[in-house]
Amino acid sequence: MGKETDHLWMHFTRMGAYREGSVPTIVRGEGTYVWDSNGKRYLDGLAGLFTVNAGHGRAELADAAAKQAHELAYFPLWSYAHPKAIELAGRIAELTPGDLNRVFFTTGGSEAVESAWKLARSYFKKVGQPLRHKVVSRYLAYHGTSMGALSITGVPAFRAEFEPLVPGGIKVPNTNFYRAPEHGDDYEAFGVWAAEEIARAIEREGPETVAAVFLEPVQNAGGCFPAPPGYFQRVREICDRYGVLLVSDEVICSWGRLGEYFGAQYYGYQPDIITTAKGMTSGYSPLGAMIASDRLIEPFLADGQMFAHGITFGGHPVSCAVGLANLDLFEREGLVGHVREHAPAFRATLEKLYDLPIVGDVRGEGYFYGIELVKDKATRETFNAEESERLIRGFLSGALFEAGLYCRADDRGDPVIQLSPALTATQQQFDEIEQILRDVLTRASSLL
C-alpha cells in the first residue's frame, strides 16, 4: 500500500527524500505557532513563507472569505469589475508612496513580476521606444519561477534546468556587505559602488535597450541583504538619468515586514512600480498585485488601447475581501507600528548568537533576518558544496524542525538561516528562536 502523500508533488522539494520516510504534515495554526498531524507544536519562524503576517488562526479573515463566497464567489476583471477589487485597489493606492495609484491584481508574486516586465515592454513600445526590453537585476536575487520572472531571477541553480530563458536579463552585484568585493571597510562607499554597477551595466547594454531595474528593498535569496545608506537614492538617480523604470519587488518586503507598509517607504525612495503579494492577505487567500505609477497607464487610456495581459484569478473577489479584512486588522492592531517598536529587540536577540563560532553575520531589517554560517569566523571562510550539503540538508533542516522551529536553512548563496516571523511576534518568540538556534547551531559546530 502506498503512502497518503504518494500523489502529491511538492514544490521545491527533493521528492526522493520521502521515498521511505513520512512527509511532515501541518494541520493547524494559532498565532505564531503551528501543529503537525502528531500534535507537536512548532514556532513558525518564517510566517509560512514570509506570508502569514497577521498570524495564524485569524477568524475574521476566514469569515471575510466565507461571506464573500456566499455573495459573489467569482467574477473576472476582464472588462468588468466587482466591489471588493474596486475598494481594495483604492485602499492600496492610499498606502503606496507617491503616484503609485494603479493596481493590477494577480494571484501571486511571480505573476506580479511577470506583469511588471510585460508592462515595461508594452509601455515603451507605446511611447515610441520599442528597443527597451531588457531588465537589470541583482546576482542571487529571487524574483519568481515563471519564465519571465525566472529570467530576472539571479539564482543559477534555479535557472539552469529551464534555459534558454527569456532574453534580456542582466545581472549586477547585490548588496551583501559581508562579502563585499569592493569597499569592504566602508558601508556607504560600498553602496555607491553597487549602485554605480547598475549604471555601468546600462551603459554596456545601451540605455536605449534597457526597460527596467528590478530590486528588492531587502534581498531575500542569499540571506537578507539590506541596502546601504543612500543606495536606493543613487539607483533612483541612475534610472532617471537613463529613462529606465525602477521596480521595487516587495513580494516579501511589503505589508509591514520591514516596519512600513512598503519597503520603498522604509528606505525612502520612489519606485515606478511595486510588485507585491504574500502578506497582502496574510496568506489566507492567494493575491498579488503590480502597482504602477499613474504615468504608466496613460498610453493605455487612449481610444482602442489596452494592456494585453490578464490572469483568470487575478483580483478574485474572495481574495480581495480577505485583503480588505487584513488591512482592517493591521490598522486596528497597529501591526506595522508593532514591528517598528520591536524590530530592535529582534535584532539584539539574534545578535546574541555572535558568540557562536559558526555564526559569521546577522543581517536584515524589521522582522526579516538572515544568519550567515561560516567555517572560520576570523577569515570568513565559507563551506564548500559538500560541506554545505551536509550542514544544511544533512543536519540543520531536520534538527531545527525537530527542536520545534520552522525556519529556512538555505544555501542558494553561502549557507544561511532565514527568519521572518509573524508581525505579532514579541520578545517571547524572539527568545524562543534564539534558544533553539543556539542549541542546534552549537551541535552543528561540533559536527564540523
Question: What is the average per-residue pLDDT within 430-444?
Answer: 97
The CA dihedral of 181, 242, 116, 339, to the nearest 10 degrees, is 50
Residue with the three cell numbers 531595474:
213
Quick count: other Cβ atoms within 10 Å of Cβ 162?
11
pLDDT at 427 over 90: yes
For the segment 363-384, the average pLDDT, to the nearest whole number, is 96
pLDDT of the residue at 135: 98
Of 296, 298, 300, the closest CA to residue 274 belongs to: 296
Average pLDDT over all residues of the chain: 96
- The pLDDT tens digits of the residues spanning 116-129 come to 999 999 999 999 99
- 213-226 pLDDT, tens digit each: 999 999 999 999 99
Asked whether the predicted pLDDT for residue 1 surpasses 80, the reply is no
12 pLDDT tier (thresholds 50, 70, 90)? confident
What's the CA angle centered on 392, arms 387 and 398, to 5 degrees? 135
272 pLDDT band, cuts 50/70/90, is very high
Tell me the C-alpha distance between 181 and 68, whole Å. Answer: 52
Residue 173's pLDDT band (cuts 50, 70, 90) = very high
- CB-based burial label for 332 (10 Å; 0-12, 13-18, 19+): exposed
The one-character DSSP state at 177 is: G
Amino acid at 33: Y
Give residue-wise pLDDT tens across range 314-344.
999 999 999 999 999 999 999 999 999 999 9
Please, which residues have CB within 8 angstroms of residue 5's CB and are 6 or more apart in sequence? 18, 22, 23, 25
Report in angstroms the alpha-carbon separations of 253 from 71, 219, 359.
32, 9, 24
Answer with the residue of higher pLDDT: 19 or 130.
130
Backbone angles phi, psi at 117, to 5 degrees: -65, -40
Q: Is the pLDDT of residue 346 over 50?
A: yes
pLDDT band at 446 (very low <50, low <70, confident <90, very high): confident
Share of the chain above pLDDT 70, in %: 100
Query: With contact defined as beta carbons under 8 Å apart, do 223 and 372 qualify?
Result: yes
CA 180 vs CA 140, 193, 309, 377: distances in Å: 14, 10, 40, 16
Report, as an integer, the average pLDDT of 376-384: 95
Residues in the chain: 448
pLDDT tens-digit series, residues 30-56: 999 999 999 999 999 999 999 999 999
* pTM given for the model: 0.97
Q: What is the pLDDT of residue 2?
A: 54
